[in-house]
Amino acid sequence: MASRLIPAGSETLDVGIVPVSLTLPPGVEYAIISIEEAPVRWSISGMPTSTRGIHQGAGEYLEWLVKETEPAVQSSTFRGLGNRRILENIRFVRAAAATQDARLYIEYFL
């Protein structure tokens, strides 16, 4: 898969108590989202809160593929499959247990 990926940009987001979304470059097919500093909660079907949404710990990462090209990755990660609307709709918020804001490092690929 790595030989066909074309970098499409990157983004860094600070995640606090107000939900944040991604700013997607045109044509993105793949994104890697690294969660740093503190845990987050996320949702694609509504606004997450500090206690509601899927919990993702600091030091973990998410992979989102618009097109399925490889088998699932290791269990400490989450692989999201589907269309671009999933990436457009995802929202992140700092988890309740966090004492500081989280930081997301995102790499996008075509």
SS3 56: strand
The closest alpha carbon to 19, from 50, 56, 45, 62, belongs to: 50
pLDDT at 33: 93
pLDDT at 19: 96
On the 0-12 / 13-18 / 19+ scale of CB atoms within 10 A, 53 is buried
Q: Tens digits of per-residue pLDDT, 6-31? A: 999 999 999 999 999 999 999 888 89
> Which residue type does 93 have?
V
pLDDT at 68: 53
> Which residue type does 42 have?
W
Return the exposure string of 78-91: e unless at least 16 CB atoms fall within 10 Å of the residue's CB, then b. beeeeeeebbeebb
Q: Tens digits of per-residue pLDDT, 54-107? A: 999 999 998 888 765 554 333 345 555 566 778 888 999 999 989 999 999 999
pLDDT at 48: 95
Domain ranges in the chain?
15-27+38-59+75-102
Q: What is the largest CA-CA distance in the chain?
A: 40
Q: Tens digits of per-residue pLDDT, 29-69? A: 889 999 999 999 999 888 999 999 999 999 999 888 876 55
Is the pLDDT reported for residue 3 higher than 70? no
